[in-house]
Structure 1
């Protein structure tokens, strides 16, 4: 992680250390601004060489909705997985709410994703993210994400038999 006039920035090597997504589903190219435990701003550059464009659609390529949501959540989880005590932990969706698609994203577009962490308690992260192409809103959603290794510490234990 490197300091860039205050907030932290992450290159692809740092991102790979913090979270567990790998090719072909690692979608964030870099984090340009990060305030651990609060917010992150990620960048994804879409080129025609992306694996999904030939099938979505060869006559009018555009980024599928699930890929847009995944870019949002990958930026969101870095708001807490960047912290040393959570680095590299697995995450699971609990819920995705209030999804809004506001524009088509096509090859050549650069997506800027702004994510914020509202709370992180007992292995449950709550927050949201929104994306932009040239300052024009593209997609937004709210997330609840679990970190099983932390969450399991708070599950009730089965009573012992006598």
Structure 2
């Protein structure tokens, strides 16, 4: 799927849509994004030594995981929310010019909750690994309470 196709299942839009493309192969989501250097998250992180923030790598993994939950997300009014991040490890920095290869798989599901394992690599080198969970929740109709 390209970015336009991803927008049909993910609620994210620029500048927070952090995948260039993704596909499901043998039960795994395989996504990709090339870091150009003009992204909001590398501006000022760090001047003269730009590095993709770890939390952004985790968000890339989460969006890639959502591709696996496409059938649940295609229902109107359902939004995926992170419910946990566990065993997160950052192994190697990601910099402008790098293409991040993301691989995620759902490890178990229970009701609206989905548990996943994800890895981010650049040129085969592990950069980030995480266990995550998500809840597919109905859209919040209580915005007037904010």
TM category, shorter: 0.7 to 0.9
Distance apart, 1:35 and its partner CA? 4.2
Q: Please give the secondary structure, in 1, of the residue aligned with 2:8.
A: helix
Tell me, yes or no, if the aligned pair for 1:35 and 1:79 is still in contact at 8 Å: no
Aligned to 2:129: 140
Give the Cα separation in 2 of the matches to 1:142 and 1:110. 22
* Superimposed CA distance per residue, residues 116-146 of structure 1 (whole angstroms, 9 cap, x where no aligned partner): 0112231101111101100010101001100
Number of matched pairs: 137
Equivalent residue, structure 1, for 2:84 = 95
C-alpha distance after superposition, 1:45-83 (max 9, x if no partner): 0011111222101211010111111001110111112x2
CA RMSD of aligned residues (A): 1.7
Residues in 1 aligned to 2:41 and 2:110: alpha-carbon distance in whole angstroms: 36
Give the equivalent residue in structure 2 for 1:13. 4
TM-score with structure 1 setting the length: 0.79
- 1:86, distance to aligned residue in structure 2 (A): 2.8
Unaligned runs of 5+ in 1: 1-9, 150-162
Moved segments of 4+, more than 6 Å: none
Q: Which has more strand, going by share of residues?
A: 2
